[in-house]
Structure 1
Amino acid sequence: MFKRISRYWWCQILGWTAYSVVNLFFAYSFAGSFGSYFLVNLLVIMFFGMVATHLLRSIIKRLNWFQYSFESQMLLFFALTVSSGVIIYVGNTIAGNLYRYSWQQRALTDQTTLTFLLPIFLITSIWWLIYFVWHYIERSRNSQVDKLKLESTVKELELKTIKSQLNPHFIFNALNSIRALVDENPQRARTAITELSNILRSSMQVEKAETVNLENELDIVKDYLALENIRFEERLRVQYDIDPETLELPIPPMMLQTLVENAIKHGISRTVSGGTVIIGSHVRDTHHEITIENTGQIGGAATTGHGFGLQSTRQRLSLLYGNKASFNIYNKNEETVEAIVLMPLF
């Protein structure tokens, strides 16, 4: 039964009960006892206190008071304090006359009116202050939760948008590679199609994931490099410098493949004699460091961070890790370009 009572009514009951207990305590402390008249009068005040505050609360809820300006809410606060105090006073006076002796009965206005109203106004002001502050905190908390949910939704949509752009971007480049092999070497073209099928199957499995472990990403990269090796043959050399402890660490899906693709497209393919791609993965202090080193030199939008692949890498790192992650690409020396990705371990 108690579970059906709302939090609001629990606060009402406990709050007015606490008011009565405090009054009884002081009455007993100063007078040594209290009569039935005092107790009944206290119960009447409790009753009309609940009636007044609940009635006025229902009215202001319909008026959407929380949409008012601060100045309007302050005026509303004073109006509610006075109104609920007057309701309690009038209710207590009228109902009290029903059980008072004729010589004890009071008029609505007499010399004791102000003496009775002041403490009632104090109690109602406390009630409404708690009510306003409670809702202010509640709205602030809900607003913060809604903001976090919105940010999470926006981040998810942006990640999905980037991934939906990455796959067609990669497929277009892969199909161009296969097209170059169709007339020259049909057998190798068929092998290339098989490699592409493996890559697409792997990429579809991680499409809904925000991160995948490095080992799964490396499998995609190896299939991609096998495909590119058919086209470049001895012009493409690949080396791996992978710390086994990093294989289970999470990274954004297709990120490593995108960086390797960028290294081949803008580095190896532009060098007549080809070159080497070195893929590294290590733990540096509190970060997971991934390095892509390739033969070539930075030049043009695609290799200075304004190409699609590099922009998508920056965006996804920012969305997933904020300023805790970083991505840089630069000329390591006169023959080599290095891309470094740092992601937090925690």
Structure 2
Amino acid sequence: MFKQLSRYWMCQLGGWGLNAAITVFFYLTLSIRKVEHFYLIILISVVLGLLSTHLMRIVIKHYKFLEKPIRNQIISFILITIVFSIIYACADVGAEKLFGLRGYVDPSISLLNELIRSIINSFFILFIWNLIYYTYHYVERNRKQQVDTLKLQSLVKELELKTIKSHINPHFIFNALNSIRALVDENPQRARNAITELSNILRSSMHAEKLETVPLVRELNIVKDYLALEKMRFEERLTIELDIDENTLEQPVPPMMLQTLVENAIKHGISKKINGGKIKVISDFVNDHHELVVQNSGQLSTLISEDGFGVKSTQNRLNLLYQGKATFDIKNLDADTVESRIIMPKNIL
């Protein structure tokens, strides 16, 4: 039975049970007069306490007080404690009067004064309850942010290692070097440029900065180098088109995310087609969001690798970085085109 109770209800029952136990202890050890129906009064107080604090929790969650700025949280903390102290005190005094349990109250004390005293007492109890509740969620939220940060760092590291592995893959280097060797006599200048492009890619992979985001222009430079090398290999079979809004060049993007999508598009899309195909990279502002789009010839069933690393890592990184405010979608745009689309919040520069 207890295993089925949530942590919240276990704390609720334990807290109010402890409150009742302390009250009974002081009554049995320090009280100089007997109170009729004392245990019934305590039971009513505990039940009303459970109901009022649970209702208070519902209100806190419904109006998302815990997601507001800290100043608003403090204001809501005080106001909701006052409001529910009044509700709790009125219900407690009303229940005792309804069931005729107020014989222990000094007749010289008016009902209004007793109500005020009950409000003050309940305020301290609910203040402690709220303090524990708010503090718990504040600590829990910070802990979750730290866990998310660690997950992001781990994911970035994993992505870097995967990218490094793909870039220093013998087949990749073999193909690039073969293409460069063929150009040494035929086009020495292009061969020198190709060596520089290969060096840029390897350097970027090996020495990627440990940053959550980089300017889009930096990411595009690596993508251009990668596509230039692939163009040597595929020649006329690969058509490249870049449609980049210059206003988006300084927008922050997760490092190597665009390159991962382009690399997957080449590896699992273009290379699977005998006649090759086209790859198009688009960056633009749409509806006050930054959109990154990669379109390539092929079909979705042949685009995703067996472990789906590129797709999975992209979605995970977006979720961790933007807390659900960014989306990633990959789909067949038509019978011969796959589109990968990332939508991120626009950064006001």
User: One fold, TM greater than 0.5?
Assistant: yes
Question: Aligned to 1:272, what secondary structure does the other structure show?
Answer: coil
Residue 307 of structure 1 is matched in structure 2 by 308
- Which secondary structure state, in structure 2, belongs to the residue aligned with residue 299 of structure 1? helix
Task: Tell me how far apart the structure 2 counterparts of residues 181 and 304 of structure 1 sit (CA, whole Å).
Answer: 25
Alignment correspondent of 1:56: none
Secondary structure of 1:155's aligned partner: helix
Structure 1 residues 315 and 167, CA gap change in structure 2 (3 angstroms)? farther
**Gap change, CA 1:318 and 1:134, over 3 Å in 2:** closer
CA distance in 1, matches of 2:308, 2:17: 58
Instruction: Assess if the C-alpha contact under 8 Å between 1:239 and 1:278 holds in 2.
Output: yes
Report the Cα distance in structure 2 between the residues aligned to 1:238 and 1:211, rounded to whole angstroms: 25
Query: Which residue of 2 is the match for residue 152 of structure 1?
Result: 149
1:78 and 1:130 map into 2 onto residues whose CA distance is 17
- For residues 189-225 of structure 1, give each alpha carbon's deviation from its aligned partner in whole angstroms, at most 9, with x where no partner exists: 7764532221232345544111112111111011112
Structure index of larger Rg: 1
Between stretches 80-89 and 165-174, larger displacement belongs to 80-89
Distance 1:201 1:82, change over 3 A: same
Q: Establish whether residue 178 from structure 1 lines up as the match of residue 172 from structure 2.
A: no
Q: Which position in structure 2 is the counterpart of 1:259?
A: 261
Secondary structure class of the residue paired with 1:330: strand
**Cα displacement (A) at 1:125:** 7.4
Q: Which residue of 1 aligns with 2:317?
A: 316
Paired residues of 2:152 and 2:317 also in contact (CA < 8 A): no
* Structure 1 equivalent of residue 234 of structure 2: 232
1:289 is aligned to: 291
Does the Cα contact within 8 Å between 2:148 and 2:320 map onto a contact in 1? no
Q: Indicate conservation of the 8 Å contact 2:325/2:344, yes or no.
A: yes
1:144-177 C-alpha deviation (Å, 9 max, x unpaired): 3323333333333233323332332233263242
Match of 1:343 in 2: 344
2:289/2:345 contact within 8 Å kept: yes
Residue aligning to 1:102: none
| 1:3-61 residue CA offsets vs partner (Å, 9 max, x unmatched) | xxxxxxxxxxxxxxxxxxxxxxxxxxxxxxxxxxxxxxxxxxxxxxxxxxxxxxxxxxx
Q: Corresponding residue for 2:140?
A: 143
Alignment of 1:1-346 (within 5 A): 69-81=11-23, 130-172=127-169, 174-178=172-176, 180-181=178-179, 192-204=194-206, 206-300=208-302, 302-303=303-304, 307-345=308-346
Letter of the 1:159 counterpart: V
The residue type paired with residue 249 of structure 1 is Q
Within 2, Cα distance between the matches of 1:72 and 1:264?
60
TM-score of the two chains, using structure 1 as the length reference: 0.59
- 1:324 is paired with a residue of what secondary structure? coil
Change (3 A) 1:249 1:341: same
Q: Distance in 2 between matches of 1:184 and 1:227?
A: 13
What one-letter code is carried by the residue in structure 1 that aligns with 2:164? N
- What fraction of aligned residue pairs are identical, expressed as a percent? 41
CA–CA separation in structure 2 for the residues paired with 1:179 and 1:283: 38
Number of residues of Structure 1 aligned to a counterpart in Structure 2: 256
Question: Cα deviations across residues 57-95 of structure 1 (Å, max 9, x unaligned)?
Answer: xxxxxxxxx9x85444334323434666899999xxxxx
Q: CA deviation at 1:134?
A: 3.0
Q: Is the 8 A contact 1:304 1:329 kept in 2?
A: no
Structure 2 unpaired stretches of 5+: 1-7, 33-104
Q: Structure 2 CA distance, aligned partners of 1:127 and 1:88?
A: 21
